[in-house]
Amino acid sequence: MKIGIMGFGVVGSGVGEIIANSPDGLLSRSGEKIEIARILDLRDFPDSPFHCFTKDFQDILNDDQIEIVAEVMGGTKPAYEFTRQLLLAGKHVVTSNKELVAKHGTELLKIAEEKNVNYLFEASVGGGIPIIRPLYSSLSANELTDVLGILNGTTNYILTQMIKAGESFEDALHGAQEKGYAEKDPTADVEGYDTCRKIAILASLAFGKYVNSEAIETEGITKITLEDVAYAEAIGGVIKLIGMASKAKDGVYARVCPAILKKEHPLAGIDDVFNGIMVKGDAIGDVMFYGRGAGSLPTASAVVSDIIDIVKHKDKHIRLGWTEGTPGYLKDGAEQEFRFYIRLTGDADAFRRSGFQMIPFSGKKVQKEFAVLTPVMSGKEFQKLCAELKQEHEILGTLRLVDE
Amino acid sequence: MKIGIMGFGVVGSGVGEIIANSPDGLLSRSGEKIEIARILDLRDFPDSPFHCFTKDFQDILNDDQIEIVAEVMGGTKPAYEFTRQLLLAGKHVVTSNKELVAKHGTELLKIAEEKNVNYLFEASVGGGIPIIRPLYSSLSANELTDVLGILNGTTNYILTQMIKAGESFEDALHGAQEKGYAEKDPTADVEGYDTCRKIAILASLAFGKYVNSEAIETEGITKITLEDVAYAEAIGGVIKLIGMASKAKDGVYARVCPAILKKEHPLAGIDDVFNGIMVKGDAIGDVMFYGRGAGSLPTASAVVSDIIDIVKHKDKHIRLGWTEGTPGYLKDGAEQEFRFYIRLTGDADAFRRSGFQMIPFSGKKVQKEFAVLTPVMSGKEFQKLCAELKQEHEILGTLRLVDE
């Protein structure tokens, strides 16, 4: 079985390494020898052990011997057009490209079905953690109700440093960049955009209808302070950046936000660059998946597992995917209910509201500020509350509480 | 698609409930309507909503319309003979029967392959947690090196009660029986036999060659005391019953034993009746799966996911399984190295051995006893050490330390 690789960056070179280093192992698991026939990349790799590089996409598209292509170039241009053409030409495509799956997955999956080939994307969420396949396969006997995950290793590393080492956001980000966990421009990670694409893919797959990532309310971690971390600790919680999606009566809720998780929550113990994804189903209850959510070999191993799956199911379309979204299916997030954490200026002793829980602060004494947990309320009610509080207080920070 | 169910106990009735309650959901996921045509059970169920009971196995075997049978009766007699005949007759079989898979899986999988049908057993390990399918599918790009799991909910509940509520083993067992978590005769759980069958299945699948559960060194939790729990706590650990299998140079190690896990270990936080399974691979690093390892609906949902998988891949043998075991493949466990915990009588102050770590005891003061951690040594060396120590001390308890 000859395959092509498009993009020879972090993931692409990992795919090459796994296939080149374990031909026998892959052979026995897939039932066929897997051989890399072409690698597309605009750069030169004079020291690479591979000698099948090309700069011309047509060399892959028109090579009838190549039946499977790993698209690991990222971005939507030209990945979208390339993938479309490959599927239309009857080739299978596997990808780690979350941006492309989140944006054009509906169309690409439809083309794959029509052409009786496969478009698989296990590597697009959670790196090497098996999550896509369990969602459409192992958990298929369940009506799924919630998907909740720590889906971005960079932000989880930063938050872990803030919580465990007491570093400020800026220092933790700087450290992450030095370790190679964060990019020079960390926007996509710290603003939650990466998590957003991943939860959009998970929500689409879990609940069966397309959820557009661009419509998901997304909040990053740049405003989290060490005071927030200390107040969270005071109520037995930790702050994590969470992508979440829940089935509602006539649609779904989806959002990305930093949230306080109580320490008993299965996701609360997931630290550093690890990812964890929790799925709730009517029969199974809670299931959680945990592992390295990024990195060359973990992500590449997920790409290769998709390749092996296709080799095992040649000439067979694997049923997975979702239907087109419909207006109103993604519900207004302001209707979703939570308990909220608010940190605000003023005198705690003077603050008296029934149903509110004052949070004792054991960190370094901060004058004239305090924090409370609200009763359960909708986002809309919370906005109203904040508007009202602003007349007497400055609001220094807000977070949702994810209780279980 | 018509199916048969053999055994209408806890799991079988769950399978019936899931299929009966969500015909549309299952329909869309499998592409075909799934209908229960026959249920085999020797008992009568006059109040059941199902009216297709039979006491005669031939009614299922000879019904050509039944293409898939769920064997959820447990035990090997008559499940082995029934399963064999069904596979030989060209029917697919899915099962939750760990005893049968651990004992006769090699033969049954071979028959399934020869007859181009499937013998699937996702429900045999970890209840509803997806673990079997990830092992042969999502993680297929990895050379797996270790599988480590809390695989029995009953014993994990008992240990959690001992650790968190300070109950003795006997009290915790009694409580588990009252809650329906433990059977009247708890031997299979508390002596580790249930865990042993499960780790045998996981080891066979992960490393590709049959591991006979009857040859696996197995130790239960009946000897664990609250003193052991307190010493474990003193070094930042918890005691868990672990099934473990590791690839070695020319074979595998496998064992079931109570072990001290440091609290940073991903399995350390898995409490109550939950199960957790950790898999290590060369590319992925550590992955963990967590969820309800038992119970009617979780286990039944795994059975139904296998049924859906078969409906999706009709006329197709799904490649999974292992080859026959070979002599010496399961290595002598006494060669495997660990750090050991020993609790023994005598005077801690007089005990001086280099490389040993004294464990400070913060629990209620116990006269004339203390505990140490040994350096890394083989089981054989540990036996020798114990023999020597017995000349001056009584050995009150021993455990392995699982460090990561």
pLDDT per residue as tens digits for the range A117-129: 999 999 999 999 9
- Which amino acid does the sequence have at B191? E
User: Which 8-state DSSP code applies to residue B330?
Assistant: B
Side chain identity at residue A293, one-letter code: G
Band of pLDDT at residue B147, cut at 50, 70 and 90: very high
* Sign of the torsion angle spanned by Cα atoms A103, A104, A110, A113: negative
- Catalytic residues of A, by residue number, are 198
Q: Is the pLDDT of residue A28 over 80?
A: no
Residue A363 has pLDDT above 70, yes or no: no
Convert the pLDDT of each residue in A69-115 to its tens digit: 999 999 999 999 999 999 999 999 999 999 999 999 999 999 999 99
Token pair of A286 as six digits = 């809670």
pLDDT on residue B31: 78
Please state which architecture CATH assigns to domain A132-291: 2-Layer Sandwich (3.30)
Decide if A134 contacts B129 (C-beta within 8 A): no
Residue matched to tokens 């014993």: B155
Query: Is B106 in a helix, a strand, or coil?
Result: helix
* Residues B280/B146, Cβ–Cβ less than 8 Å: yes
The answer to whether B25 is a known ligand-binding residue is: no
CB B326 within 8 A of CB B252: no
Which residue, among B27, B136, B140, B264, would best test binding to A if mutated, counting the most A CBs under 10 Å from its CB?
Answer: B140
Cβ separation of A140 and B14 shorter than 8 Å?
Answer: no
CB contact under 8 A, A140 and B269: no
Residue A364 has a pLDDT of 63
- pLDDT, residue B364, reads 62
Mean residue pLDDT of chain A comes to 94
Report the pLDDT averaged over residues A278-287. Answer: 94
Q: Is A147 helix (H, G, I), strand (E, B) or coil?
A: strand
- CATH H-level, domain B143-291: superfamily: Dihydrodipicolinate Reductase; domain 2 (3.30.360.10)
Contact A137 B305 (CB under 8 A): yes
Mean pLDDT of chain B: 94
The CATH number assigned to the domain with range B2-127+296-312 reads 3.40.50.720
**Angle at alpha carbon of residue A98, lines to A93 and A104, rounded to 5°:** 70
Known catalytic residue: B198?
Answer: yes
Q: How many CB pairs under 8 A join A and B?
A: 176
Determine the residue of chain A that is closest to B323 in CA distance: A28
Output the pLDDT for position B16: 95
Q: Give the pLDDT band (50/70/90) at residue B365.
A: low
pLDDT at A138 over 90: no
Judge whether residue B23 has pLDDT over 90.
no
* Angle CA A179–A123–B269, to nearest 5: 70
Q: Which residues of chain B does A319 touch, with a Cβ-Cβ cutoff of 8 Å?
A: 29, 31, 312
CA atoms of A397 and A377, how far apart (whole Å): 17
Model confidence at A39, pLDDT cuts 50, 70, 90, reads very high
> B93-102, pLDDT tens digit by residue?
999 999 999 9
With CB atoms and an 8 Å threshold, state whether A287 touches B284.
no
Tallying the residues shown for chain A, one arrives at 404
- Mean pLDDT calculated for residue range A41-55: 95
| pLDDT computed for residue A12 by the predictor | 96
Q: Where are the domains of chain B?
A: 2-127+296-312, 143-291, 334-402
pLDDT at B203: 97
Given B91, B103, B198, B280, which residue is catalytic?
B198
Spatial distance between the Cα atoms of A317 and A219, rounded to a whole number of angstroms: 37
With a pLDDT cut of 70, the percent of chain A lying above it is 98
Q: Is the pLDDT of residue B231 over 70?
A: yes
Residues A200-242: tens digit of each pLDDT = 999 999 999 999 999 999 999 999 999 999 999 999 999 999 9
A287-336 pLDDT, tens per residue? Answer: 999 999 888 999 999 999 999 999 988 778 888 889 999 999 999 999 99
